[in-house]
Amino acid sequence: MVDETEAGKGRATPTRKEAEAARKKQMKTPMSRKEQRKRDAAAREQVRLKQREALKSGDERYLPAREQGPVRRFSRDWVDRRYNVAEFLLPILVVLLVLFAVGSDSTALTSVLTAVAYPAIIVATVIDEVIMTRGLRRELKARFGPESVKGSVMYAVLRSTQLRRFRLPKPQVARREKLGTNYR
């Protein structure tokens, strides 16, 4: 025989009538619109904080919908594993702006910077982006099928324009690292 002190949950099982009454009472808690808005805002804030932490840590479970999935993860890793001219575009343009300010007395320096430096930087960025997107398209089609390319290439281009340290989700691969096959 089972000893009564060891078995059981320590209380009687409620009848169906009692259980339904308790459930209905819980559902009918009076709540004003103001309280409801506060509760909804707090719930949204919790979700937002969880997503923010996931963007920093790379936790796939809590990432925003636009960042989820193996195709997006592969696209992120594809961009993060290489050096991109576009990510250095802003710092280079700031340096050129300083050179313009310093060399504003010299029209020759200003002319050379305007005629050579800016077009060269833009052409280098465009060529690098074309090389990156062609390789990414080829890999996405090979790994995930032709339908996976839609949206992922522009996602990668936009990510490549950000400085590596400011990218979210944070880069999960090192530069020049080979990408594995664990993207399913």
Is residue 117 within 8 Å of residue 103, measured between CB atoms? no
Return phi, psi of residue 173, to 5°.
-125, 155
How does pLDDT run across 43-65, given as a tens digit for each residue? 899 999 999 998 888 888 888 98
How does pLDDT run across 132-159, given as a tens digit for each residue? 999 999 999 999 999 888 899 999 999 9
Q: What is the pTM of this model?
A: 0.73
The two structure tokens encoding residue 135? 């390789």
The candidate with the shortest Cα–Cα distance to 152, out of 71, 87, 95, is 71
How does pLDDT run across 76-130, given as a tens digit for each residue? 999 999 999 999 998 988 888 888 787 777 777 778 777 888 889 999 999 999 9
How does pLDDT run across 59-88, given as a tens digit for each residue? 888 889 899 999 999 999 999 999 999 999
Spacing of C-alpha 129 from chain mean position: 20
Three-state secondary-structure class, residue 11? coil
Tell me which of 17 and 36 has the higher pLDDT: 17
Residue 3 confidence (pLDDT) above 70: no
DSSP state of 59: -
